Amino acid sequence: MSAFDITEVGKYTPDELKNKTLVLVKPDAFARKLAGEVIGRFEAKGFGLLEVKKLRLTKAQAEDFYSVHKGKPFYEKLVASISAGPLVALVLEVPANRDTKGKTAVEVVRLMVGSTNPSEAAPGTLRGDFGLDITDNVVHASDSAESFVRESKVIFG
Ligand code: CMP
């Protein structure tokens, strides 16, 4: 049985959700053999790996995943790129014995990921160290607990 039953995610309290987030190693980064590096960064930081899943999104799943961006000029390209090949999805958790001084998993992970445009992302961040392209920007990370719940349902069903 899985350590983290994503179908139960709706039952998490707001406090429990603060410790969790979703990261996708995007298809371009997966093809560039960066999955191990990305996972290693989060492990070295101290996150627990609740889920690690390799999958390929259908176009319909990709449209659902990025539905908040529907209508934006970059939407079609984004959907094509995230469904172009296999990706690795991670559910990360801050272990219960770690004191983040109120910072959520979403916030800590987004700091590690860096600015959306890798060409502007700080060195030391994943996008700053491994990307040059705004669409194939190495990883996606949930931007809120609500996004984590919605996005996780697309990935894990
Ligand atoms: P991601 O974190 O996956 O969330 C939405 C994605 O849209 C973002 O990373 C980028 O890959 C992509 N994107 C492409 N163009 C833009 C843009 N101009 N502004 C924001 N995001 C963009």
User: How large is the average pLDDT for residues 93-115?
Assistant: 97
Which tens digit of pLDDT belongs to each residue from 78-97? 999 999 999 999 999 999 99
Residue 21 lies in a domain: no
Q: How far is CA 51 from the centre of its chain?
A: 11
Residue 1, pLDDT above cutoff 50: no
Residue 62 lies in a domain: yes
- pLDDT, greater one: 62 or 9: 62
pTM: 0.93
Residue 87 lies in a domain: yes
Return the CATH number at 41.
3.30.70.141
Residue 80 lies in a domain: yes
Instruction: Establish whether residue 125 lines the binding site of ligand 1, counting it when its CB lies within 6 angstroms of any ligand atom.
Output: no
For residue 66, count CB atoms less than 10 angstroms from its CB and return exposed for 0-12, middle for 13-18, buried for 19 or more: buried
* Total number of residues shown for the chain: 157
User: How large is the average pLDDT for residues 26-37?
Assistant: 98
* Nearest CA, atom 12, ligand 1: 135
